[in-house]
Structure 1
Amino acid sequence: MDKLNVLTLSLVIPGGILCFVAVRMLWKYKVFNQLLVLLLCLVFLSGGGLAIFSGLDMASYHYLSDGKPAAVVHFRRESDGQFSAHVKDHMGHEYIQKLTGDYWQLDARVLRLNKHMFRDIEPMIRLEYFYALNVTSRKAASIERSAELLHTSSDLIDSWPFLKKIPWIDRFISLQVTSTMKKPVTDKTVYIVNLTNLGLVAEKSRVADNAP
């Protein structure tokens, strides 16, 4: 007999015996009933934990009504030559950050429910990062986020990596990560950021010269 087969049998046979003895002991002492209860509890705990985890994550998203901009962005040149970026989301939350850069971008996460199952329900949106891009390096750095931002919880809670592993989840809900196109940073310029079917779109406002 081949040496490899002998080695395999020398491991498989004792292993099978040990498994058989273990099963007999579990059966004899009626541990199987307890195992079923334990497994059922683990399933419930896992499902409940994921539901709580997802609910806390969803709390940072907010419905965006039709025709309402996702955000308003405007810039002011400071005395030191830097720009202060003012970003106000559709809920009225605003954060301000000084930046040095030639272009900016804003990205967000958008949750959409299945339209066939959930009619007349607006998409839910959460602003993620605001980027300042330098012409020379093309490197983007997220500005600091204030404590009043809606998405501060996303640093600790992000349920989507777990939810997207569920095979049937896309039948009910979908996640879109979208960004605006690169736009120039200029003094007293106001941009209106809208959510379209293609994602976030930033357009210069007609009242740019009267920026606050």
Structure 2
Amino acid sequence: MVEVVLGITLILSLAGSVLLWHGWRHLAARHLLRAGAHGGVGMTLITAASVAGFAALDLAGYQQLTAERPVAMIRFKSVAPSGFVAYLKTTDGRIRHYRLHGQDWRLDARVLKWRSWAYLLGFKPLYRLTRLSGRYATVAGARSHLHTVYALGDVRGLDVWQWSRRLHLAFVDAVYGSSVYLPMAAGAKYRIRLGVTGLIARPVNTAARQAVDAWR
């Protein structure tokens, strides 16, 4: 996906540079009309290449999405009443830890899906994990206790997700956010996957299964 956008960026840059060069030559020869035409189109292509380049930079922060793709593992250590340390391991092998307050954990993601013709050009569905937070089981608890929330991914370059939502781009089939939440418990471990309907979390050990059974 990123490679396709980078290829488009390169083609636009080369074409724009060639047209700008021809525009400069026409200007030197005092062919003002031709210089203006070549220069204008060249600048347009260079601008488009810049936008595509920033889009590629942003898309590099996403991961390709296939059916039921594993995206993370999360486990918990109890450190206080309604307080836990969450250890989040993502598919790149990186493990990060976060202090969460509440009874539940919540994970949010952004998802980009492309139309069929864009898919044939190499545009694959993408996702980005965006936020991990603690969640209280009751409204009263949420109103009166400390909230903890952490950003998991930074936007780099052009925010394709936001602009797709605003402009309703023709090559984007679906742009949506997805989230999942389940109870925290000492020693609990969950596997998180992302499928066509969004995030899915499943308990993988006894502590997690017991927490889910009691939570229901």
Query: How far 1:127 sits from its partner (Å)?
Result: 0.7
The answer for the alignment partner of 1:185 in structure 2 is: 184
| 5+ residue gaps, structure 1 | 1-28, 146-150
Alpha-carbon distance in 2 for matches of 1:105, 1:177: 13
Aligned CA-pair RMSD: 3.3
Q: Tell me the number of residue pairs that the alignment of Structure 1 and Structure 2 aligns.
A: 173
Q: Following the alignment from structure 1 to structure 2, what is the Cα–Cα distance between the partners of residues 176 and 90? A: 21
Q: Stretches of 4+ moved more than 6 A in 1?
A: none
Higher percent of residues as strand: 2
1:109 Cα offset (Å):
1.5
The CA distance in 2 between the partners of 1:196 and 1:65, in whole Å, is 7
Contact 1:89 1:127 in 2 (8 A): no
Query: What is the alpha-carbon distance in structure 2 between the residues aligned to residue 116 and residue 40 of structure 1?
Result: 27
TM-score normalised according to structure 1 size? 0.65
Name 1:77's counterpart in structure 2. 78
Q: CA deviation at 1:105?
A: 1.0
Tell me which residue corresponds to 1:133.
Answer: 135
Mapping of residues 127-206 of structure 1, within 5 Å = 127-134=129-136, 135=138, 136-137=141-142, 141-143=148-150, 145=152, 151-152=153-154, 154=155, 157-164=158-165, 165=167, 167-170=169-172, 174-180=174-180, 182-206=181-205
What are the Cα deviations for residues 31-83 of structure 1, in whole angstroms up to 9, with x where unaligned? 66554445323321321111011000011112245554221111111268731
Which deviations, in whole Å up to 9, do the C-alpha atoms of 1:104-127 show, x marking residues without a partner? 211111223334663698632211
Structure 2 residues not aligned, in runs of 5+: 1-29, 210-216
Secondary structure (helix, strand or coil) at the match of 1:110 reads strand
Q: Are 1:72 and 1:193, in contact at CA under 8 Å, matched by a contact in 2?
A: yes
Q: Determine if contact 2:70/2:191 at 8 Å carries over to the other structure.
A: yes
Larger Rg: 1
Partner SS state of residue 187, structure 1: coil
Report the Cα offset of residue 209 of structure 1. Answer: 6.5
> In 2, Cα distance between the equivalents of 1:209 and 1:183?
9
Q: Distance in 2 between matches of 1:118 and 1:105?
A: 31
Name the structure where helix makes up a greater proportion of residues: 2
> 1:156-207 CA distances to partner (integer Å, 9 max, x unpaired)?
652333345264222xx54332111x32221111111121222111122245
